[in-house]
Amino acid sequence: MRAFTLLGVALFGIVSTLALRGEAAEAPRASVDLTTTDGTGVVDATWRYADVQLVPTRHRGPDANGQPTGNFQPTWDYEPHAAVKDFDDSGWTSLAATDLAARRGNGRLSFDWYRIAIKVPARIGDFDTQGSRLEFETSIDDYAEVWVDGELPRRVAQNGGSMIAGWNAVNRLTLARNVKAGQIIHIAIFGVNGPLSDPPTNFIWMRLARLQFYDDPRSGEPMAVPAQEVNVQVKRVEPGIDRIVPANAKLFKLAQDFKFTEGPIWLAKTRQLLFSDPNANRIYAYDPNTELLSVFREHSGYDGADSAEYGQPGSNGLTLDRDGRLTLNQHGNRRVVRLEADGSVKVLADHYHGKRLNSPNDLVYKSDGAVYFTDPPFGLPTFFDDPRKELPFSGVYRAARGRVTLLTQELRGPNGIAFSPDEKYLYVDNWDAHHKVVLRFPVNRDGSVGKSEVFADMTQELPGDDALDGMKVDREGNLYVTAPDGVRIYSPQGHLLGTITAPRSVHNIAWGGEDGRTLYLCASDRLYRINLLVEGVRP
């Protein structure tokens, strides 16, 4: 069939691979031609197309430091901004794969979008795709930029990959590693008619679009990447956000291909970031100086014989006590533990009134040495309905001197937890699609809490199944909440200042770096960082 060939590529593909990699071409195990009807049928996909329109807009001019904080001045933008993963292209023109060579755009200075959502097949001929590496090649007359699931990485002097590769050049990039049958991958291709300084009389069309599957000896292993800038959006709601997020904010991808990243904490002594992958039952260490990733702890949350039944058996939230000892919430073991200097594990909390905790999620220390933590059932195999569940509620607790005290049980899915810098208030947010709220509790002198108040309610504003996750505060008392639309930043008075949106959904954050102004983002299968203008509160 024309849709795919096994163990071979055309001469054009071999030459382009050699040119891009500077090495002998690696033969793919299977190839799918997305310019054919058979090819799009293999991945259950339909091409969609839209012209791009230039629209007038305004943007701030440069200040003395070259940053965009000056007066507004007229410039240009384009519509639609169709690179995001969940962009609704249902109203666009549907293209037959065989029509990709048709000339599009309006000629001269013109741009367009091609979008396609592919579904990874279980097999292609005799080749089992499970665990393979999937790459994509395309060539557009004249240039192309390629977004994958809403992300556009770029590095200094980058040529190709997700960025423009050159005049009619082939762009080649990895879509995914360790692919799984049924996995959906969204590709958005921005076509450009060029050269821009001498707009041509011709039009935009797609010469090549091809998927290639390769054996991957590192399949399933996460990897650090050279720190590379990726797209970021900053929604500025109130002027206070400008004191927090730089006018020309930069987000960098540091590592990828995890199962799920969570619970980050900065280690000042070793200048490393630790973070959990609860799905992989592992804690990783990332060194920003060497850009190296290593395994810090295996079986971080569970070593039971039935661990395969658990979706998230590993550790989740991580923090440090006053003596710098790592404290972690273990999902599978259903407890809060501290790692001692001699390597032993001390249990700080595992029961309440003789019943086992659900699955401690996030945690924070108070300056008096007490640890506060949330305990939803999300670490149990079937959550609220799991037969292992012993407590009839999801609680927020305080553990001190061997005693575990229930502070509140009013939230169905208590998740992120943080103190205000002066420790007068305790914040707790809720992973509940039907009640996306942050509660604030006054903290009494004895460490107990008073009656809660709703600090922020996002239920109507943010519909959908995702809810609220990790939280942190900065030195000025602003609260950072990981929400479905990004990292939301609230003033101490509860006003939304703005939102930082990364290419992946962010689930937890931590302050790090030499000056405490680097915010690390655990975002689904990725690790990002962004430098801010304020210092965060660190243990």
Dump pLDDT digits (tens) for 182-231.
Answer: 999 999 999 999 999 999 999 999 999 999 999 998 878 999 999 999 99
Higher-confidence position of 50 and 11: 50
Among 186, 214, 242, which residue terminates a domain? 214
The CATH number linked to 370 is: 2.120.10.30
- Checking if the pLDDT of 8 tops 60, the result is no
Do the beta carbons of residue 40 and residue 46 sit within 8 Å? yes
- Checking if the pLDDT of 23 tops 80, the result is no
Task: Show the domain range for 169.
Answer: 11-214
Same structural domain, 526 and 470: yes
Element at 123 (helix H, strand E): strand 123-124
In the prediction, which pLDDT does 25 show?
A: 62
pLDDT digits (tens, 9 = 90+) for 60-104: 999 999 999 999 999 999 999 999 999 999 999 999 999 999 999
In the prediction, which pLDDT does 217 show?
A: 86
Same structural domain, 512 and 424: yes
**Domain assignment present for 178:** yes
Sequence length of the chain is 539
Same structural domain, 185 and 241: no
Running DSSP on this structure, what letter comes out for residue 291? T
Strand order in the sheet with 335-339: 315-320, 326-330, 335-339, 345-349
Q: Which two tokens stand for residue 457?
A: 């309610």
Do the beta carbons of residue 16 and residue 26 sit within 8 Å? no
**Domain assignment present for 507:** yes
pLDDT, average across residues 44-64: 97
pLDDT digits (tens, 9 = 90+) for 449-503: 999 999 999 999 999 999 999 999 999 999 999 999 999 999 999 999 999 999 9
Among 214, 244, 273, which residue terminates a domain? 214
- β-strand 486-490 against 496-501: which pairing, if any? antiparallel
Do the beta carbons of residue 427 and residue 468 sit within 8 Å? no
Do the beta carbons of residue 337 and residue 326 sit within 8 Å? no
pLDDT, average across residues 128-135: 97
pLDDT digits (tens, 9 = 90+) for 423-464: 999 999 999 999 999 999 999 999 999 999 999 999 999 999
- Checking if the pLDDT of 9 tops 70, the result is no
Among 214, 237, 253, which residue terminates a domain? 214
Report the percentage of the chain scoring pLDDT > 90: 94
Do the beta carbons of residue 90 and residue 82 sit within 8 Å? no
Query: Mean pLDDT across the chain, nearest whole number?
Result: 94
First to last CA, the chain: 60
Give the C-alpha separation, 134 to 32, whole Å.
11
In the prediction, which pLDDT does 26 show?
A: 82
pLDDT, average across residues 305-315: 96
The CATH number linked to 52 is: 2.60.120.260
Same structural domain, 328 and 445: yes
Give the C-alpha separation, 435 to 457, whole Å.
8
Provide the number of structural domains found in the chain: 2
Give the C-alpha separation, 74 to 61, whole Å.
9
Q: Which two tokens stand for residue 388?
A: 């292992």
The candidate with the shortest Cα–Cα distance to 230, out of 347, 157, 324, 150, is 150
Instruction: Give me the phi and psi of 384, to 5 degrees please.
Output: -65, -25
**pTM of the entire predicted model:** 0.94
- Checking if the pLDDT of 5 tops 90, the result is no
Same structural domain, 400 and 487: yes
